[in-house]
Amino acid sequence: MKKSFLIAADRSNSGKTTITLGILSALRERGLQTVGFKCGPDYIDTLHLTKASGNPAYNLDTVFESPDELKRTFAWGMRGADVGVVEGVMGYFDGIDYKTFKGSSYEVASILGLPVFLVLDVSGVSYSVASFVEGIVSLSRDASVCGVILNGVGSPYHEQMVRSSIEYHAGVKVFGALRKSELASLPSRHLGVYTAFETEDEFYKELARKIGLSVDLNGMLDLSWCDVGVVDSKDEQPKDKKAFVAFDEAFSFYYQHNLDFLEQLGFEIHFFSPLKDEDVCGADFVYLGGGYPELYAERLVHSKKTMQSILQHVNSNRPLLAECGGMVYLTKGLIKNNRFFNFCGVFDAVCEMTENRKALGYVLVKALDGQFSGIGHEFHYSRLKMVNEPYAFRIKKLTTQEEYGDGFIRNKTVASYTHFYFSLKNRDLINFLFGGVL
């Protein structure tokens, strides 16, 4: 019988990412087939979930997908797995709407019927933590909060105080407790934690060891369940086309759902590395995802073969999608620390790194020529400048309604700061790139 559950928290930075990775790693070491999921649009955590579980991790995003699409994505991800562990996003109820909690971990748990285990950082609090748990349980009307994992415990006595208060007042069992700084944290930079490329296997093994000693995984599994329904067969077309996907330390931000979608359209996926100066000759579609081109700019300027082949691909009127860091790579170059690094030059614009974050959140995207509209997500610390050609898109932030121009279209090449998810809400974009497949 398949099992699944969701790891949530009352706020960000409570330790849910490292605890989720530790749980996945520990269950995998027991010989179980595990798969990780991430609520929301995050593309960095999924790389870690993939490495911890040994299987591709999927995003579960209720802004990008309808409830039926979400269920199909979850069922597809669970095929062949014994246990699915879903990592929440931010705080349990945090989303884009205070009334419905749209886009939250709670909404995902409600739609999929997932049992929820809360990670609580209890440093600096004791008996009062019961009120947090009771409040969350009371508000979680359509999803079951089955247990709590304590993080940041100061001492055995502190653990006893917190555990007793939660179990007595909130009626929720505590399944484990971790001491302050017991779990190593992933180092962070401007876009978030370091990627799985930069993380040694020993990190996940150590998390598994400590979680195995401190968390009652058997008890959690006993309270877990999984109702995936009928798995969508997702009949694939014959592999008669080639999709070249940039994948290395500089470009690695992708949704697994999008890669699966390409395969279902009949694309055979070839990963290539701009850092290794590999070309895209023979590609029917090129995908330049986001990442950290700014960290590897000194190496990317020498990727002459890659850049020349990309220019040829664009001019041949074959489709290309460039998102965020991928778009940066298609401009004339990048300004960083008062130095200029030459890139592809497909578009007559320059990108400049900034100290402060320039954008974060869901956006509505409308092509100014009316060819398509859609929805996506932005997160970047750079900006376009010296733009000598018209923007192709009008962007509207979903939360603040702020509007601005962004991105470019040339032939069948689409480039912008927006990360897109290949769901029905982006049908127009998909049909533009691939010729009316939806």
The pLDDT of residue 180 is 84
Half-sphere exposure of 149 (CA within 13 A, CB side): 30
Q: 241-434: same fold as 3-222?
A: yes
The pLDDT of residue 298 is 96
Of 240, 138, 219, 145, nearest in space to 176 by CA: 219
Domain chopping of the chain, boundaries: 3-222, 241-434
Of 316, 286, 322, nearest in space to 415 by CA: 322
Provide the residue type at 142 as one letter: D
- Contacts for 89 with CB less than 8 Å, ≥ 6 apart: 38, 39, 40, 42, 104, 105
pLDDT one digit per residue (tens) for the chain, 438 residues: 899 999 999 999 899 999 999 999 999 999 999 999 999 999 889 999 999 999 999 999 999 999 999 999 999 999 989 999 999 999 999 999 999 999 999 999 999 999 999 999 999 999 999 999 999 999 999 999 999 999 999 999 999 999 999 999 999 999 999 998 777 777 666 666 677 777 888 888 999 999 999 999 999 999 998 877 656 555 667 788 999 999 999 999 999 999 999 999 999 999 999 999 999 999 999 999 999 999 999 999 999 999 999 999 999 999 999 999 999 999 999 999 999 999 999 999 999 999 898 889 999 999 988 888 999 999 999 999 999 999 999 999 998 999 999 999 999 999 999 999 999 999 999 999 998 665
The pLDDT of residue 195 is 76
Q: Which residues pair with 351 in a beta bridge?
A: 334, 384
The pLDDT of residue 1 is 83
Residue 324 among the catalytic residues:
yes
> Helices (H) and strands (E) in the chain — how many of each?
13, 26
In 88-131, the DSSP E strands lie at: 116-121
Of 140, 121, 157, nearest in space to 17 by CA: 121
pTM to 2 decimal places: 0.93
CA 338 to chain centre: 31
Is 283 in contact with 246 (CB distance < 8 Å)?
no
- Contacts for 323 with CB less than 8 Å, ≥ 6 apart: 253, 288, 289, 290, 415, 416, 417, 418, 419, 420
Domain 241-434 has CATH 3.40.50.880: yes
Q: 226, 324, 344, 351: which is the annotated catalytic residue?
A: 324
Fold of 3-222: Rossmann fold (3.40.50)
